[in-house]
Structure 1
Amino acid sequence: MKKLDTVFYNRADVVKLAKELIGKVLVTQFGEVVTSGRIVETEAYAGAIDRASHAFGGRRTNRTEVMFQPGGTAYVYLCYGIHHLFNVVTNQQDIPHAILIRAIDPIQGINTMLARTGKKSADYTLTKGPGNVSKALGIHTGHTGWSLLHDDIFIASDDFVAGKKDIIATPRIGVDYAGEDAKLPYRFILKDNPYVSGKKSERGKLNA
């Protein structure tokens, strides 16, 4: 595998990057413990101009300040006081673009993932949904601000290449508060992958 570098993360089109992350491998390596999975669902958030983004209007808080860091930084926030959601910061410094990793297809360290999640069997719920992704990979809010260019948490490419027809665009999930921006096709999924979250009817429907 080849680790993604600053050239990949620092580009301006967050929607294109969210699509390109489909099929890449998200890896955590804490000490000797390695877990990884292929990214099969992402959501793009276009910063200051995107009503669904935490940084809409250029909003800077203690939580969102990390979104203004250079591309290739981890943004992990707590949702509903329970779920730790892992995002990839992209673009140049002070442009708060981010991509939420919503689902992965497990590759390595499945027994460790089971222990972390408290599950007895490796069914599709193991890494379906962004909260489960972080829990299975051992990612939490303490990792926000970490560089994805190091060896603890990183994203890499391997020989897997998703066909253009296999990557489907849909509106994002759970952002109804964003008005018209909620309808933007900023969510990408790998067609027919069982780890993709949401309703089955959403998985095979292309929204142009």
Structure 2
Amino acid sequence: MNVKIASEFYLRDVQIVAEELLGKLIVRKYEDGTIKKYRISEIEMYIGEEDLACHAAKGRTARTEIMYDQGGKIYMYLIYGMYWLLNIVTGLKDHPQAILIRGLQDISGPGRVGKVLHLDKSFYGEDLSVSDRIWLEDDGLNFGFTRHSRINIDYAGDIWKNKKYRYIIK
């Protein structure tokens, strides 16, 4: 039996949440009422203002404001003018951390994730624990994972580029 993930799950440190997030289900209720479930297969962590690859490294802005809220909210942003990327905020208020959903089972790439889930700017700030259009569920299955360097963040420098903050389900 699947259980909707409660808000307390997201209020922990990004690394703890990231490890437990792999294998969970993203549930999307589409405009036509159809409900589909997708297993999270790849994530990337961004751990706060000190992380030069994290959007919060430049400080609090209108774009990053939701990252400073408490965990469980959605941080959406547009890249290349066409792809909405899904990030889940974690941790406590005023400690910006987020997890980018890079892949779902049989769907690789964060741009494709946003496209399949039909995401847009309206999801910015959505609370996963109370939303009726997108939420996470735990079906009780546990998965191992491998750790890798993050992708497309050369601008952050070698130290941050080479951190093993990307997890892929086994």
Structure 2 length normalisation: TM-score?
0.93
Q: Which residue matches 1:156?
A: 137
1:185 aligns with 2:132: no
In the alignment, is residue 101 of structure 1 matched against residue 101 of structure 2?
A: yes
- Conservation of the 8 A alpha-carbon contact between 1:35 and 1:137: no
- SS for the counterpart of 2:55 is coil
Q: Deviations over 1:104-140 (max 9, x none)?
A: 01xxxxxxxxxxxxxxxxxx4xx21011111111111
- Segments of structure 2 that go 5 or more residues without pairing to the other structure are none
Question: Is residue 70 from structure 1 mapped to residue 96 from structure 2 by the alignment?
Answer: no
Partners of 2:103 and 2:42 in 1: how far apart? 5
**Matches of 1:49 and 1:81 in 2, distance apart?**
27
Match of 1:61 in 2: 61
RMSD: 1.2
Please list every run of 5 or more consecutive structure 1 residues that lacks an aligned counterpart in the other structure: 106-123, 192-208
Cα deviation for residue 82 of structure 1 reads: 1.1
CA–CA distance in 1 between the matches of 2:140 and 2:8? 19
Stretches of 4+ aligned residues off by more than 2 angstroms? none
Partner SS, residue 152 of structure 2: coil
| AA partner of residue 68 (structure 1) | Y
Q: Quick one: which of 132, 138, 145 aligns to 2:112?
A: 132
Q: Per-residue deviation at 1:63?
A: 0.8
Tell me which protein shows more helix as a share of its residues: 1
1:191-202 aligned at under 5 Å gives the runs: 191=170
User: 2:114 is aligned with what amino acid?
Assistant: S
In 2, Cα distance between equivalents of 1:83 and 1:67? 19
- Distance (whole Å) between structure 2 residues aligned to residue 128 and residue 181 of structure 1: 23
Q: Is the Cα contact below 8 Å between 1:36 and 1:137 reproduced in 2?
A: no
Kindly indicate whether residue 51 of structure 2 is the aligned counterpart of residue 50 of structure 1: yes
Q: What amino acid is aligned across from residue 136 of structure 2 in structure 1?
A: I
After TM superposition, the score normalised by the length of structure 1 is 0.76
> C-alpha distance in 1, partners of 2:16/2:154?
22
Instruction: Report deviation, 1:30.
Output: 3.3
Structure number, greater radius of gyration: 1
Where 1:55 maps in the other structure, the secondary structure is helix
